[in-house]
Amino acid sequence: MNVLKSLALVSAIALTGAMTLTACSSAEEAETVDNPRYNPATNEVLANFVFNVSTGNGDTRQSSAATQALEDELFRGIDNAVLFSFKNTTDGTHVATGTTADKRFDFAQVLAPYTVSSANTRRVIETSLPLNTNALLFYGKAVEGITTERDYVTAYDVYGHLDSYSIPEDNDLSKISFSLGKRLSGDNLTKYRQIENLLSSILTALMNTNLAGTNHVSFTAGAKPLDVDEMAPYGFDVAVTDYPEDLTWESYANTSGTSPVETTHELYPLEKKLADIYREMVSIKNAAGEVRAGSGYAQRLIIHDLWTNINEVRCSTPLNKPEAIAKYFAHRVAIRLRKYLNGKMPSNGGPVAEVTFRDPLAIIDELRADEWPATADAKPTDFSLISTSDNLNYFPYSFDMPYGAAHLEYNATKKQFFYVKNFNTNAMGDRVVTIENYSYSPELLYFGNSPIRVTNEEKRTADYPQTVAAWDDDAMWTADWQKNSHVVSSTQGVAMQNDINYGTSLLKTTVRYGATKLNDNNHAIQKAKVPTLADSDEPDKQLTVDATSFQLTGIIIGGQPKTVGWDYIGKAADPFNSWIYDRAISSPAIPAPGAGASTPNYTLVFDNYRNLEYQDKVYVALEFINNSGEDFFGEYGMVRKDSHFYLIGELDPERSGLAAIEWPAHHPLPPYNEDGTSKQVKRVFMQDYMTSAEFVIGANSLKHAYLTVPDLRYSSLTLGLSVNIKWSTGLNFNNVILGGEE
């Protein structure tokens, strides 16, 4: 997403009386005062409500502009502003619990974008303030930004989005809630599921190709496939009695390694190729933690490889009847492939080219007419929301989701592919995570909670201290001001003692290389297939990286509360299982090794305080695209060139060596104790603070590259990144190695 300003932003709110009032200490006394601005019926004084804002005057429009992270960002304005007044039992206190306010003020857009600058920091609003008010509470959010959509990146991606900005009319703070905006809901979610069903059905149909029924035929030695006349003939006469009536692709991948046609003979070379393709397609090691990439792009690459291998078998010259049957089987697979995909299939057995999914409506028609395995669940039929304009090659990114959000699994009993609906829940009991848990970043939100200063002297707007530093300095206030006081009928000016701050937190992300040569996971992958492999066999590939090798395309942050309450702290009853996906990356480039870190990217997040006893680690998945020009092996499989992959970093608030947090000197930070003091508990994200994380791609990080986004709550994640984090004015995480290995 894109970013916050360290809060020299809103320095304060001031309330000033416009006329001199006769001093009195109670409403009864005030009734005898000849004061046209005092209303004895309501016990309120008409006053001027004054904002004092300190902001820079630069004109940069980087990702930082959306969150005002830098001092020179233009001020985005404050909208949906609400002020509450309170009569606390004791002066000098702020609101500490979700109580009911004394009065509510709705100000809508109190400041338009760009109306505040270093030369013009104030605006005055006239309003009525109840007598005996001694605390004020302020809410607001930045004015919604506008951006030109590009590569599916929307204004929601750039500026954040909330499903709920709810401040109920009854002034009950306990009912206030701010909820992250789901990326998928309603018809969009239904359509997403329909495309999942379509894509998984294509794989199910393909991998259940068989020579049963109308496909169980005889052919002669000189026969050629009808679609490519120049292709080599089968070479042998084959009768229907020469091979089983129910010969399936799985038959070749039998555990005995024997030919399904000549059961006393080991697999012939063409048969073995069919067996190897089948095993690679269906052997998804879910129990071991493997997740298979299910994006349209990944499926297209996988099927492209499958088709190329099938074409080799289809165009080969068989040496015996079993191989002639394998050649015919490959021809049947190729016919099915053409039902669903476009591609140029050479008759010489060369690589298939220009593979793309066909028009989705054409695919749906083919699927409805195609064979379906009897072992599988009923064939999906509802594709009502899918249209010709839906490009399957860009699923699920076209739904504002990361490419790696789509995970495939295979049910060997049903012989059917499915998309993973619920992610691994081992670490969170019965709390499940699905694609519905992906959210936009929260919007830029404001929060002010403060006792007040009062004065009996009439003040002009210019009399109030300018800038945050001056506002927080008692010496900058004249002697007539009383700190920690309350409103009486003689009050001429009222000011919030504490600054207005951000209700959201911020993650600043940078990435750098920790080595010039990066090792992939080839040896471990091959060793898992052939346990007898010697340590010196199949060594890891080494990739030499430079400034063009990888690009950062997204950031996924786990463990976020779906909803926060009046104090911007997660509600105890709600799970912390939302994942924020930020794809509005300011600059995707990663400098060459030794040339420093990438340009910072800024992502708004919610405070992740859980309770006094326990604070969560936060897992962050960085999404990269492989521009190295080379394929490499990651944690479980091959990361193809030009495809996306994910590395995981851990942000642990108890990590040794972190600097102490600098807690605010002029206001207690939520959550609050009953006496109003702050529960000063260290956690990864704290509202109004920026956590800085420098992620490092180390020499062995690629060994732990995921093709899809794994469960970011799972405690046994294999880490690919090392991290340093810090708070602005607090903790600092440096050198967080992706994968946890140097």
pLDDT, tens digit, 9 for 90 and up, residues 76-85: 778 888 999 9
Confidence (pLDDT) at 13: 44
Residue 410 and residue 403: Cα distance in Å, rounded? Answer: 19
* pLDDT over threshold 60, residue 425: no
Q: Please check the confidence at residue 407 and state whether its pLDDT lies above 50.
A: yes
Q: What mean pLDDT, rounded, does the chain reach?
A: 84
What span, in angstroms and rounded, lies between the C-alpha atoms of 691 and 731? 7
The 10s digit of each residue's pLDDT in 690-741 is 899 999 999 999 999 998 877 776 555 677 876 656 655 544 557 767 776 6
Q: Quickly state the pLDDT bin for 28 (edges 50, 70, 90).
A: very low
pTM confidence score = 0.88
Of the listed ranges 336-345, 555-564, 567-576, 626-635, the least confidently predicted one is 567-576
Whether residue 394 has pLDDT greater than 60? yes
What residue type is assigned to position 446 of the chain? Answer: Y
> What angle in degrees, to the nearest 10, is found between the helix axes of 186-207 and 269-282?
160
Residue 98 to residues 242, 444, 565, 573, 675, Cα–Cα distance (Å): 80, 22, 9, 15, 13
The pLDDT, as a whole number, for residue 63 is 52
Amino acid code (one letter) for 54? S
Please determine, for residue 226, whether its predicted confidence score (pLDDT) is greater than 50.
Answer: yes
Identify the weakest region by mean pLDDT among 28-42, 187-201, 586-600.
Answer: 28-42
AA identity, residue 449 = N
Spatial distance between the Cα atoms of 122 and 466, rounded to a whole number of angstroms: 10
pLDDT (0 to 100) of residue 243: 97
Q: Which run of H or E residues covers position 334?
A: helix 321-340
Q: Is the pLDDT of residue 22 over 80?
A: no
pLDDT number for residue 182:
96
Q: How buried is residue 710: exposed, middle or buried, by Cβ count under 10 Å (0-12/13-18/19+)?
A: buried
Q: Which residue has the higher pLDDT, 503 or 224?
A: 503
52-56, 376-380, 536-540, 592-596: range with lowest mean pLDDT? 52-56
Q: What is the mean pLDDT of residues 517-526?
A: 95
